[in-house]
């Protein structure tokens, strides 16, 4: 297992290198002059040239990339021109709220996705299967930003059960209960699509496993049906499901961009939207790089978990 883990970590290195190239090029090749956009009506030829020199935009793309990557390897992601503070400090400050939201959404999607998939497979072609299938289809078809707005109008504005946005109350907030009240709606919004995908995949994997000989043998030996489902069948089905959980973690991190904007959640996603509007290049690059690195790390963990469930994958 240790050797397999080291191999997976080694493979993550070129992936992260590719991520840095893509992140840099996507931002660098956006049309327009960032310095002119930052300065706005105060721009003069002299001030634009000075700002381009400060940001390193007057150098060639390869030179800018090497300078950025070299500094990033030392923990220096540059300085946000709009906020006048180190990019790394801003990203780390915003990363906490994003991790809280993403962890809550991923936990909900895993719990409800697995439960829905197992229940649907065990009662195949029954009314439970059809009801769950319809719910999962609606979940995967509903845009998250639209669902978020509906939940705000219904549960926050209409019924007043939850806050409309933010991470804490403006007055008297800050406790765990207050955080949970603010977390419910964005976490549910972000979890719905991932739940639907995991539910459909779990159902397919469980149906495949339930037809295997070892399940029929366990039933023939008189093993209780609940144990056959929860221990024997589900463990085997998870081998196919766990890698997709890692992929859905990437969806959750990416979806945080618009969900955080809808709910005014002070995370990296909202920071990126604001930074793009200000053409704050280094802050955008630093935020995207942080999310991409998290995505790669989560998928490495998912691969290790899959190998733990099926030791044959270590070969």
Q: What is the 3-state secondary structure (H, E, C) of 72-136?
A: HHCCCCCEECCCCEEHHHHHHHHHHHHHHHHHHHHHHHHHHHHHHHHHHHHCCCCHHHHHHHHHH
**SS3 assignment for the chain:** CHHHHHHHHHHHHHHHHHHHHHHHHHHHCCCCCHHHHHHHHHCCHHHHHHHHHHHCCCCCHHHHHHHHHHHHHCCCCCEECCCCEEHHHHHHHHHHHHHHHHHHHHHHHHHHHHHHHHHHHHCCCCHHHHHHHHHHHHHHHCCHHHHHHHHHHHHHHHCCCCCCCCCCCCCCCCCHHHHHHHHHHHHHHHHHHHHHHHHHHHHHHHHHHHCCHHHHHHHHCCCCHHHHHHHHHHHHHHHHHHHHHHHHHHHHHHHHHHHHHHCCCCCHHHHHHHHHHHCCHHHHHHHHHHHHHHHHHHHHHHHHHHHHHCHHHHC
Asked if residues 291 and 254 have their Cβ atoms less than 8 Å apart, the reply is yes
Residue 116 has a pLDDT of 92
Task: Give me the pLDDT at residue 91, please.
Answer: 92
Tokens, residue 49: 């040239």
Please give the Cα distance from 248 to 241 (Å, whole number). 11
The predicted structure's pLDDT at residue 189 = 93
Q: What is the pTM of this model?
A: 0.85
The reported pLDDT for the residue numbered 233 is: 83
Whether 314 and 1 have beta carbons less than 8 Å apart is answered as yes
pLDDT per residue, tens digit, the chain (315 aa), is: 677 677 777 887 888 888 888 888 887 777 766 777 777 666 777 777 887 787 777 788 888 888 888 888 888 888 887 788 899 999 999 999 999 999 999 999 999 999 999 999 888 888 988 999 999 998 888 888 889 999 999 999 988 889 888 887 766 566 788 889 899 999 999 999 999 999 999 999 888 888 888 888 887 888 787 888 877 788 888 888 888 888 888 888 888 888 888 898 889 988 988 888 788 888 888 998 888 888 888 878 877 777 776 666 555
């Amino acid at each position: 297992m240790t050797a397999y883990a080291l191999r997976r970590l080694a493979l993550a290195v070129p992936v992260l290198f590719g991520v840095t190239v893509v992140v840099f090029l996507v931002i660098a090749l956006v049309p327009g002059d960032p310095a002119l956009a930052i300065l706005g009506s105060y721009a003069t030829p002299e001030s634009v040239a000075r700002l381009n020199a400060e940001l390193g935009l007057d150098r060639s793309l390869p030179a800018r990339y090497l300078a950025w990557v070299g500094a990033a390897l030392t923990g220096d992601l540059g300085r946000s021109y709009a906020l006048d503070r180190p990019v790394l400090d801003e990203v780390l400050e915003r990363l906490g709220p994003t991790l809280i939201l993403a962890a809550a959404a991923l936990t909900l999607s895993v719990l409800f996705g697995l439960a829905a998939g197992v229940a649907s497979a065990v009662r195949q072609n029954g009314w439970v299967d059809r009801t769950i299938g319809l719910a999962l289809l609606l979940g995967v078809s509903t845009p998250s930003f639209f669902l978020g707005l509906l939940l705000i109008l219904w549960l926050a504005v209409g019924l007043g059960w939850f806050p409309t946005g933010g991470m804490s109350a403006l007055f008297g907030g800050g406790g765990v209960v207050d955080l949970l009240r603010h977390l419910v709606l964005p976490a549910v919004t972000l979890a719905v699509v991932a739940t639907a995908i995991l539910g459909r995949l779990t159902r397919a994997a469980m149906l495949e496993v339930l037809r295997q000989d070892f399940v029929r043998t366990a039933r023939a030996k008189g093993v209780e049906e609940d144990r056959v489902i929860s221990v024997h069948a589900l463990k085997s089905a998870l081998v196919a499901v766990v890698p997709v959980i890692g992929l859905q973690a990437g969806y959750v991190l990416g979806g945080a961009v618009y969900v955080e904007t809808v709910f005014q959640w002070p995370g990296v996603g909202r920071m990126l939207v604001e930074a793009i509007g200000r053409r704050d290049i280094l802050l955008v690059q630093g935020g995207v790089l942080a999310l991409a690195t998290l995505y790669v790390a989560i998928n490495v963990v998912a691969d290790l978990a899959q190998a733990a469930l099926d030791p044959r994958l270590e070969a």
